[in-house]
Each structure stands twice: as C-alpha cells, then as structure tokens.
C-alpha cells in the first residue's frame, strides 16, 4: 500500500509527502496536457472554455523563480499525453463540488499524471465574473495537479472553497507562489531543502488531491 502524508509548512500552503519523505512533484518538465471541452454546458462557449483552461495553466508557468512549464497537446495525439482537463457529465461526485483533481504518484512522490474533472451539470459557471468563475476554479485544480494541497490563506487561489464572483482567484496570491517555489525551485537551488512540519494523515497513491474541490462556501454555524 502506498501512503502519502500531508504536511503544513511555515506558510499557509500545504503539500503532500510520500512515505520516503519526498513531496509530491513532477520529476521533469514540461508537463504535456490536453483540453476536453466537448461536454461543457451549452451556455459556456468552446472558446471561453479553452481560454479558461489555457490561462489556468499559464498562471502557474508565470510564477518567477520556478521550474514549471506545460505543453498543450491537440486532440488526435492522445497517446502522447496522460494529463487531461475535462468537462464531466454525468457528475459522479457531490452536487456542490465545482471541480476535482486526481493525481497519480510513485512511492517516492513523483507525479506521473493528473486528471481534472469539471462539473458540467452546474448552471452557475461564468467567464464574465457573475457566477462561479471557471478560470479561477481551474487554476485551483491545476495547482493540485502540480502537487499542492489546500492553503489556509483565505485570499489564496488554493483556499479550499470559493464563492460566486471571486474572479481574483484567477491570479495567484503570494502564498500560492511560495508553494510553487517550494515544489519547483530553480535548478541552481535544488540543494536547498525544507523540513516538513507536523503530519496530517494520509491517503492512497491514486490521490484524489485531498478531495480537492472548489465548492460553494458553506456558512459557518454558531
């Protein structure tokens, strides 16, 4: 059985660790990926869907001082890629989940592939800022595909919940960027290591990114 342990660092972001103590991260770059917009709801145009997907990926590439790069693969070249962002229907997860990411990792934490599923049955997606922002949700899920868990920073893209009109989550917060730099330091800094803090449980090697999802923010009960 392959177990991954999640640890909280000094910052608000969280990463997952394999039994070996290595964080979940891609061993090499670039990451090849493919967009699947065909099952999108009718009120979301294919161009808007693709725009959100491509910009969600680009947000992580634009972090300075990191080694992160993606290469899109056109349909018809499926044998070249194992990483997908797909609209999904019927939706097999709870209705209040906007999207979910799953990643496959080796026993020493090397990410092999990811799948990002987008709930095509919701009627409140938006690309114009008036509903649940598609690009913001996808940027969050791509973060999971890179190995990040949730952040306790309420302003971060990797915060576990979102609400309508939170377009600002398209743009990475300082905490998101710090998490990316921890997992993917520039080549000259690979000798620098950060010790993990307290451990917070674990899950199996096919990691449903801690049930990473963007869902409707719940009201706190008194």
Q: Domain for residue 194, yes or no?
A: yes
Q: Is 10 inside a domain boundary?
A: yes
Alpha carbon distance 118, 202 (integer Å): 25
Residue 110 bridge partners (DSSP): 25
Asked, for residue 220, whether it belongs to a domain, the answer is: no
Q: How many whole angstroms separate alpha carbon 192 and alpha carbon 161?
A: 32
**In total, how many domains does the chain have?**
1
Asked whether residue 143 is assigned to any structural domain, the reply reads yes
Q: What is the mean pLDDT of the chain?
A: 83
For position 42, which CATH number holds? Answer: 3.40.390.10
| Residue 219 included in any domain | no
CB half-sphere exposure, 160, CA atoms < 13 A = 11
Whether 124 is in a domain gets the answer yes
pLDDT tens across 203-221, in order? 334 445 544 344 433 323 2
What are the pLDDT digits (tens) for 56-113? 999 999 999 999 999 999 877 666 678 999 999 999 999 899 999 999 999 999 999 9
**What's the Cα-to-Cα distance from 81 to each of 19, 34, 50, 71, 78, rounded to whole Å?**
27, 7, 17, 10, 6
Q: Give dist(CA 186, CA 115) in Å, integer.
A: 26
Residue 99 lies in a domain: yes
Does residue 175 contact residue 143 with C-beta atoms inside 8 Å? Answer: no
Residue span of the structural domain in which 198 resides: 3-213
Residue 218 in any domain: the answer is no
pLDDT digits (tens, 9 = 90+) for 46-57: 999 999 999 999
């Amino acid at each position: 059985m392959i177990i991954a342990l999640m640890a909280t660092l000094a910052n608000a972001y969280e990463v997952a660790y394999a039994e070996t103590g290595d964080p979940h991260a891609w061993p090499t770059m670039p990451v090849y990926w493919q967009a699947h917009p065909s099952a999108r709801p009718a009120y979301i145009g294919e161009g808007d869907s693709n725009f959100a997907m491509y910009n969600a990926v680009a947000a992580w590439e634009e972090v300075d001082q990191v080694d992160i790069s993606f290469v899109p693969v056109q349909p018809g070249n499926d044998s070249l890629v194992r990483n997908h962002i797909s609209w999904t229907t019927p939706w097999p997860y709870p209705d209040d989940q906007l999207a979910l990411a799953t990643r496959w990792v080796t026993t020493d934490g090397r990410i092999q592939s990811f799948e990002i599923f987008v709930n095509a049955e919701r009627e409140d997606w938006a690309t114009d800022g008036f509903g649940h922002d598609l690009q913001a949700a996808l940027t969050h899920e791509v973060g999971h595909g890179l190995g990040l868990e949730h952040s306790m920073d309420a302003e971060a893209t990797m915060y576990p919940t979102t609400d309508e009109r939170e377009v600002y989550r398209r743009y990475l917060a300082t905490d998101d960027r710090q998490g990316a730099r921890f997992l993917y330091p520039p080549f000259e800094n690979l000798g620098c290591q950060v010790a993990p803090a307290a451990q917070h449980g674990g899950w199996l090697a096919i990691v449903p990114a801690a049930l990473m999802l963007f869902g409707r923010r719940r009201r706190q009960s008194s």
